[in-house]
């Protein structure tokens, strides 16, 4: 595999310059007397001291310099970026130990704008450096493992106990676990039901091609309704049904709660799944199907052994889009009492407690990224298996 020269693009030095400007311009960390107050911000030098701040500046400058020297392998700036990401939990723990004492039960430390911008640009540097590496998969596994290990060790050793997000989690540990299970239940239930319905609708479209326009028109109509509006539209009919049939209330089906959220998530999930499944099955090469018929396969064997395996990567892509979309919409469903991580987001907004907002937002983002990575990998593996 040919590796591009590390000096072929000014992207990395430009990102390093912007990162340095952000580090010296914005506050790196903040001290909060409690969860409500905005807190007192500290610039990089005041927050971490001369040695630690100087080390960060040197690492960033080293990344920019190494990326412009043609004789230095592309792995060197990439390793420096990983070092930059690894030091972040340790720098936050050092700040907390310096400014938050055990005698301050409500005090906490928090990352400020400089830290978040540093993280953002470091991730951009990692992506750009990763693009130039030869062993990309190995580099991804090793670097991700090292970064997660650094955060895990700091959490395990209690070095991040003063961090506002950690304190919010420990206060809300029970509700957080409940929100996690509810979020997963809604997402997996919606994706599973959508997969079942999409299989039925796809079979209908394939057997009766004239119905394709009507099916997609209805599914497109659901997509045009804003999520909050759809949640609201479901409240009245479900409330009337639960009042008319008490056994529905025993199942938890009422105007608010998980039922309208599940119905809305399924409605939003059908279009990408049905579209990808239908197109994937319709676009299978006709010559491949003719060869299968020539070998004496029955229509059922052709579908199971030929058409479905060839369409599987595109079908998985539809499941990926549906899953990521459902994870985000489930957070909004907390507004109608469905639960999930959205509960913390809206509680935090109502109480002006941004750390509580992050307690709901960050796990939602993590779930979406994890689902995207896993399903994308699965789609690549199935696609690669077809070419072997």
Contact present, 299 and 230 (Cβ < 8 Å): no
Instruction: Tell me how far CA of residue 253 lies from CA of 222, 269, 320, in angstroms.
Output: 21, 20, 28
Check residue 369 and give its pLDDT.
92
- What is the mean predicted confidence (pLDDT) over 331-344? 90
Name the residue with tokens 């997509």.
Answer: 223
Lowest mean pLDDT across 175-184, 219-228, 321-330, 357-366: 219-228
Is 298 exposed, middle or buried, given 0-12, 13-18 or 19+ CB atoms closer than 10 A?
exposed
Lowest mean pLDDT across 116-120, 144-148, 251-255, 304-308: 251-255
Tell me the C-alpha distance between 302 and 296, whole Å: 9
- What is the mean predicted confidence (pLDDT) over 331-354? 89
Lowest mean pLDDT across 90-94, 97-101, 243-247, 277-281: 243-247
Check residue 224 and give its pLDDT.
87
Check residue 386 and give its pLDDT.
61
pTM, full prediction: 0.85
Instruction: Tell me how far CA of residue 245 lies from CA of 242, 260, 261, 336, in angstroms.
Output: 5, 16, 20, 21
- pLDDT above 60: residue 96: yes
3-state helix, strand, coil split of the chain in percent (to 5) is 80, 5, 20
365-387 tens-digit pLDDT: 999 999 998 998 898 888 775 65
The H or E element spanning position 298 is: none
- What is the mean predicted confidence (pLDDT) over 301-312? 84
143-176 tens-digit pLDDT: 989 999 999 999 999 899 899 899 889 888 999 9
Check residue 387 and give its pLDDT.
55
30-68 tens-digit pLDDT: 998 887 777 889 999 999 999 999 999 999 999 998 888
- pLDDT above 50: residue 3: no
- pLDDT above 50: residue 189: yes
How many angstroms separate the first and last alpha carbons of the chain?
19
- What is the mean predicted confidence (pLDDT) over 340-366? 90
Check residue 5 and give its pLDDT.
43
Domain ranges of the chain: 11-171, 173-386
Name the residue with tokens 């997000």.
Answer: 165
Pick from 264, 262, 269: which is nearest to 195 by CA? 269
Check residue 388 and give its pLDDT.
56
312-337 tens-digit pLDDT: 988 999 999 999 999 999 999 998 88
Lowest mean pLDDT across 25-34, 115-124, 224-233: 224-233
* DSSP character at residue 251: T
Check residue 296 and give its pLDDT.
79
**pLDDT band for position 237 (50/70/90)?**
confident
Percent of the chain with pLDDT over 70: 95
Check residue 190 and give its pLDDT.
93
The CATH number fitting domain 173-386, selected from 3.40.570.10, 1.10.3720.10, 3.90.1150.140, 3.50.50.60: 1.10.3720.10
Name the residue with tokens 């000096």.
Answer: 7
Check residue 7 and give its pLDDT.
44
Contact present, 330 and 368 (Cβ < 8 Å): no
Check residue 324 and give its pLDDT.
94
């Amino acid at each position: 595999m040919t590796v591009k020269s590390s000096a072929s693009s000014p992207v990395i030095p430009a990102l390093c310059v912007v990162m340095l400007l952000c580090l010296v311009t914005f506050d790196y960390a903040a001290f909060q007397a409690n969860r409500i107050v905005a807190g007192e911000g500290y610039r990089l030098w005041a927050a971490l001291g001369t040695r630690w701040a100087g080390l960060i500046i040197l690492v960033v400058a080293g990344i920019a310099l190494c990326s412009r020297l043609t004789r230095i392998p592309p792995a060197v700036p990439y390793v420096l970026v990983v070092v930059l990401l690894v030091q972040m939990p340790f720098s936050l723990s050092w700040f907390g130990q310096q400014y938050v004492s055990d005698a301050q039960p409500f005090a906490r430390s928090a990352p400020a704008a400089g830290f978040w911008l540093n993280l953002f640009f470091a991730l951009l540097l990692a992506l750009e450096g990763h693009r130039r590496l030869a062993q990309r998969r190995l580099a991804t596994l090793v670097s991700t493992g090292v970064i997660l290990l650094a955060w895990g060790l700091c959490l395990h050793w209690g070095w991040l106990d003063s961090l506002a997000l950690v304190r919010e989690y420990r206060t809300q540990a029970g509700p957080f676990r409940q929100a996690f299970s509810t979020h997963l239940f809604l997402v997996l239930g919606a994706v599973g039901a959508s997969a079942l319905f999409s299989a039925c609708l796809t079979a209908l479209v394939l057997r009766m091609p004239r119905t394709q326009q009507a099916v997609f028109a209805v599914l497109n109509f659901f997509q045009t309704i804003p999520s909050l509006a759809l949640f609201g539209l479901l409240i009245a009919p479900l409330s009337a049904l639960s009042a008319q049939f008490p056994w529905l209330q025993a199942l938890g089906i009422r105007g608010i709660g998980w039922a309208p959220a599940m119905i809305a998530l399924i409605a939003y999930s059908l279009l990408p799944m049905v579209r990808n499944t239908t197109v994937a099955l319709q676009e299978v090469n006709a010559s491949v199907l003719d060869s299968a018929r020539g070998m004496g396969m029955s229509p059922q064997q052709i579908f199971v052994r030929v058409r479905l395996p060839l369409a599987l990567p595109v079908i998985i892509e539809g499941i990926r889009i549906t899953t990521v979309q459902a994870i985000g919409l489930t957070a909004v469903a907390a507004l109608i009492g469905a639960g999930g991580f959205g509960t913390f987001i809206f509680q935090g907004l109502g109480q002006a407690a941004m750390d509580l907002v992050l307690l709901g937002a960050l796990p939602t983002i993590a779930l979406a990224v994890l689902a995207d990575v896993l399903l994308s990998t699965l789609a690549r593996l199935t696609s690669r298996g077809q070419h072997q």
